[in-house]
Amino acid sequence: MAVPSIGDPGSLSPLPLALHRGLTAVAFFGFLSFLASTALFLRLTYKLVLQHHKTHTRANQFLLLITNLIFADIQQSIAFLLNAQWLRSNAINVGTPTCWAQGWFVSTGDLSSGLFTFAIAVHSYADIVHDFRLGYKTFLATIAGLWTFNYVLALVGPVMHPKDYYVRAGAWCWINLKYKDERLWLHYFWILIAEFGSVIIYTLIFLILRRRVKEAFYTTSSTALRAKSAAKLIIAYPVVYVVCTLPLVTARLTTMAGGTVTYTTLCAAAAMITSNGWLDVLLYTLTRQGLIFGDDLPPENAGVIETFRIRPDDAFGTVTTIEAGGPATGGVRARRHGRLNSKGMLGSRAGSQENLFDAKGGLVGLQHGVKAETVVNVRSERAVGIPMGRLSGRGSDSEIGKEEGRRKVSEEI
């Protein structure tokens, strides 16, 4: 009995030695990505639910995009984790529920991972470069639209070809090679847009951030430090995605063009693409430790740069400098720095200034000559309206208004 060729869409039994070894590696990395992605997804979901329960606030947009990307990675990892069934039975059996499920998760997982990688790139560019974020309802509608688009594209093929759409496609089950147009226009066209689009967008962000850091565009030390970190780290995101996905895309396009690839080549490419999950988890964990392991989550209006908190205990916040004088000299003014926008300012790119006089023109709680710098650590309880009066001094127990000169106060709300 002749052994089916690599391009044969029929079942394959027993597995060739090279394919058996290759699928073992693919299943291992698929399992690793599934565990890592599921753990991070559950942690982020728990923190989002807990935040909403405690504060009844809306979730940060960037955090929601990351959560959706990790959910996409879970689906992608399931696709390649299912290769364990072929190893167990020492055969790839076409026409079984496992074969159909694998083809489905390859289609939905790969595409959704690309869509949300590209969405994060676009969101980051709009936020960092133009200080722009979608309205919350529009943002949620966009997420729903991306998932709808993903599943509609995945459904078109099986509806058009219900009997033989998902078959053996070399080393595992996927779209039948004879449906080349469906492979291209329902899958690879969009993945290629996500790949090269993300590279272009992140390159622009990197160049703009580097220029702004050199020009001292950011007016607070904490925001400037995060911008420097972002400029160094942000280029890693498209690199990881392209390195993981491009080998398999290249291999599949080669077969569609009439070329041949080996089982070893396919399995090596599959091991790379299914590693996208655990590498995403590793990347976001290393560059957003505060986001993943911190006690608080960024508020709804926090910008992308603010999420670059390297230390878990580095709270989201602002710095407010309060200077006291008389009405003739402008009175008491509060200069706020560190707003969560592209320039690191509160209120606007020029910052904000507030006169601290009461209705009768008197000073509000401060004596003449006082200048205080308040470090405001914004935690998730902010939106519930906890009073602003809980202050703890750093290096001094003196009350504001009784100390001349300059001191720092940490205000936690």
Helix axis angle for 136-160 and 61-81, nearest 10°, is 20
Is 371 in a helix, a strand, or coil? strand
Distance CA 110, CA 114 (A): 6
The residue among 337 and 150 whose pLDDT is bigger is 150
Question: Given pLDDT bands bounded at 50, 70 and 90, which one contains residue 176?
Answer: very high
Task: Look up the pTM and report it.
Answer: 0.74
Which of 299, 333, 300 minimizes the C-alpha distance to 316?
A: 299
Cα–Cα distances in angstroms (integers) from residue 287 to residues 211, 223, 234, in the given order: 21, 15, 9
Q: What is the largest CA-CA distance in the chain?
A: 100
Q: Please tell me which residue, 157 or 58, carries the higher pLDDT value.
A: 157
Which is it for the CA torsion 18, 20, 23, 28, positive or negative?
A: negative
So what's the pLDDT on residue 257?
85
Q: What is the pLDDT of residues 342-389, one digit of tens each?
A: 334 333 333 344 444 444 444 444 444 444 444 444 333 333 333 333
17-308: CATH topology:
Rhopdopsin 7-helix transmembrane proteins (1.20.1070)
Segment 191-236, tens digit of pLDDT: 999 999 999 999 999 898 888 877 776 656 666 677 777 777 777 8
What is the reported pLDDT for 156?
Answer: 97
Rounded-to-integer distance, Cα 410 and Cα 38, Å? 36
Mean pLDDT estimate for the chain: 77
d(CA 408, CA 406): 7
Token representation of residue 360: 């009768």
Scanning 234-315, the segments in alpha helix (DSSP H) are 236-256, 263-274, 276-287, 289-293
Model confidence at 327, pLDDT cuts 50, 70, 90, reads very low
- What pLDDT, on the 0 to 100 scale, is given for residue 264? 94
Q: How many helices (H) and strands (E) does the chain have?
A: 12, 8
* Tokens matching residue 123: 């969101």
Look at residue 90 and give its three-state secondary structure. Answer: coil
* Amino acid (1-letter code) at residue 102: Q
- Domain regions of the chain by residue span: 17-308
Q: Please state, in angstroms and as integers, the Cα–Cα distance from residue 234 to each residue in 119, 169, 198, 210, 307, following that order.
A: 15, 35, 11, 11, 12
Q: Is the pLDDT of residue 305 over 90?
A: no
Q: Residue 109: which residues within 8 A CB-CB, separation 6 or more?
A: 72, 73, 74, 75, 76, 77, 78, 79
- Report yes or no: 354 and 334 within 8 Å, Cβ to Cβ: yes
Tokens 């020492």 sit on residue: 90
3-class DSSP assignment, residue 91: coil
- pLDDT tens per residue, range 26-38: 999 999 999 999 9
